[in-house]
Amino acid sequence: MQWLDYSTNQDQRIEVPDLAKMNLNVVEDRLNERNLDFEILDSANFNPDFPRYSVIDQVPAPGKFVKEDRKIYLTLNPSGFRKIEIPNNLIRKTRRQVEPTLRSLGFEIGEISYKPDIAEDAVLELRHKGKLVQPGDEIMKTSIIDLVLGDGSGRYRSDDEDTLDIQNETESEVDEF
């Protein structure tokens, strides 16, 4: 029985440190000091509350007691948000349909502008940082997408014609007063 106690380190207890928000260099130093190992399980969805490439989860939890050479399993914060593909069924849908779809994918709705079209509030274009976004394009999650909508005026302009008559929603609201 004495041999069994000795070989299994029955009386040994090492407290697991809290590794949250630490990068791998610091983690390695902390665990080496305590004769513990680590293994990276995966990276999770990007969490802006944690530094890039830092620990966002660990098993066993901080404060638990383990034996020497125990592995601590880590989940890391990736370098940024992942890219999301723009669905192909958004053009010519209503603003009321498109906004919830984009938000559910993790995008934010930016500026709303209008241009002449027969349909009122129909999405004619999606733009990101001023550039036209096509269905199938991949954009970082949480990016701001601007919507260009039809004004319902009954007029129609082809894409070949000058598009300088796009009017911002805020400008049209001011003109109404």
CATH code where residue 65 lies: 3.30.10.20
The whole-angstrom separation of Cα 78 and Cα 6 is: 42
Give the gyration radius of the chain's Cα atoms: 27
Q: Which residues contact 48 (CB under 8 A, 6 or more apart)?
A: none
In this structure, the answer to whether residues 89 and 172 fall within a common structural domain is yes
Over residues 56-89, the pLDDT tens digits come to: 999 999 999 998 888 999 999 887 778 899 999 9
Confidence at residue 174, expressed as pLDDT on a 0 to 100 scale: 46
CB 16 within 8 A of CB 66: yes
- Tokens 């004769």 -> residue: 35
Mind listing the pLDDT tens digit for each residue in 3-56? Answer: 655 555 566 788 999 999 999 899 999 999 988 999 988 767 788 888 888 899
Name residues whose C-beta falls within 8 Å of residue 163's C-beta, 6 or more positions apart in sequence: 115, 157
75 neighbors 55 (Cβ within 8 angstroms):
yes
Residue 163 has a pLDDT of: 47
Number of folded domains that form the chain:
2
The pLDDT of residue 1: 61
57 and 101 fall within a common domain: no
Domain identity same for 110 and 140:
yes
Q: Read out DSSP for 146-174?
A: EEEEEE-SS----TTS--TT-EEHHHHHH
Out of 24, 55, 76, a domain closes at: 76
What's the pLDDT score for residue 4? 56
Residue that terminates a domain, selected from 76, 92, 108: 76
**Domain containing 12: what range?**
2-76
Which is higher by pLDDT, 1 or 50? Answer: 50
pLDDT of residue 67: 85
Given 76, 109, 140, which residue is the final one in a domain?
A: 76
